[in-house]
Amino acid sequence: MYGKIQTKKLLKKLEEKDISYLLVMNLDLPQLDPNFYYFTGLDGYEHSIALLGEKSRVYVPSFEVPRAKRESSIRDIRKTKAGLTKELGKFLNNKKVGINGEFMPVNFQKKLKRNKIKLVDASKIIEELRVIKNKEEVERIKKAASLSKKVLKKVDISKSETQIVADLIYEYARHGMKPGYDPIVAFDGDSTVPHFIPTNKRGGKTLLIDAAAAYKNYTADITRTFLLKPTKEMKKVYEIVKEVHDLAIDMVEPGVKASEIDNFMQDFLKKKGYSCPHSIGHGIGLLVHERPYISIKSDEILKEGMTFTIEPGVYITGKFGIRIEDDILVTKSGHKIL
């Protein structure tokens, strides 16, 4: 069952740090902590709390108890109720409890502290686990990437941006997948905004589509730019972006500094008279943006099992943007394009 391996690794880390339990929580949709699913295997549970430690237990809304019992390898499933923090206080009294400080609201932290629970931020411990993907996680991303690329090949370019979005989502759903993030579909000038929100615009000289499916919660992140009626400048920029994309991917292997790859892209583009307003990539997994960040600002060293994007882009104000994005796995001796 999903979550079992992840929890086993977590418990070892907690022990090393002398932390008794990790407490992860979900709020209202869509504010679910991906780590709740990561450790429990429970997907889409609002208002739920998991305690992971020697005697792991999960609290979910009463109507979700039967589903949770079927879906989680954690056997102790309980229903949430009024006064739950008091019960947690009794169970965790004076114990050191890890939380995801990147997610848990300050108000809830205060409630826990009032009930004599000693909180420590465990977000870095969790990140260290999440940043390395196991075989099953890589397979999920690979499946998502493979369908995403297939769907991109069949796009009907006569449709409007929002109609294309609808078609993409429909195709993912037909294959039992969801969009991993809101698709970006942008003709001409629209594509100069890297995270453009599609409109009813139709037709143009270029079309940028940044869209990918998620399979069992693991998302791919793919961008293709189509030259429909390109000018010389568009063709030239496309070739430059493609070249730096390929060269950057070639750099990927264990031991390489993430910042070196981003640096390389900026230097390469500068020599050609261009620049990229964003970093060259970011980790993908349960979230579409997560560690490792492939950025000049990052101190990450690439390790086997990391999955991230390589996505150089050049955006010519008022005219067009070209971005090519692929998903890369760091292998033992190099890399694979997923």
- 326 in contact with ligand GLY (CB under 6 A): no
Of ligand GLY, Mn ion, none, which one does residue 196 interact with (CB within 5 to 8 Å by kind)? none
Residues 296 and 263: beta-carbon distance below 8 Å: yes
- Candidates 137, 190, 210, 326: give the one binding ligand GLY (CB under 6 A): 210
- Closest distance between Mn ion and the C-beta of residue 90, in Å? 45
Cα–Cα separations (whole angstroms), residue 209 to 48, 203, 213, 255: 36, 13, 13, 32
- 290 in contact with Mn ion (CB under 5 A): no
- 188 in contact with ligand GLY (CB under 6 A): no
- Rounded distance, CA 20 to CA 102, Å? 19
Residue type, 336: K
Radius of gyration of the chain (CA): 22
- Closest distance between ligand GLY and the C-beta of residue 332, in Å? 27
Find the helix or strand (DSSP H, E) in which 129 lies: helix 123-130
CB-nearer residue toward ligand GLY: 173 or 193: 193
- 210 in contact with Mn ion (CB under 5 A): yes
Here's the x/- map for ligand GLY, 268-297, by CB under 6 A: it reads as --------------------x---------
Cα–Cα separations (whole angstroms), residue 142 to 196, 311, 320: 25, 17, 30
- Walk across the sheet containing 218-219 and list its strands: 178-179, 213-215, 218-219
Residues 201 and 160: beta-carbon distance below 8 Å: yes
- Closest distance between ligand GLY and the C-beta of residue 181, in Å? 5
- 181 in contact with ligand GLY (CB under 6 A): yes
- Candidates 64, 161, 190, 311: give the one binding ligand GLY (CB under 6 A): 311
Residues that bind ligand GLY (CB under 6 A): 181, 210, 221, 288, 311, 325
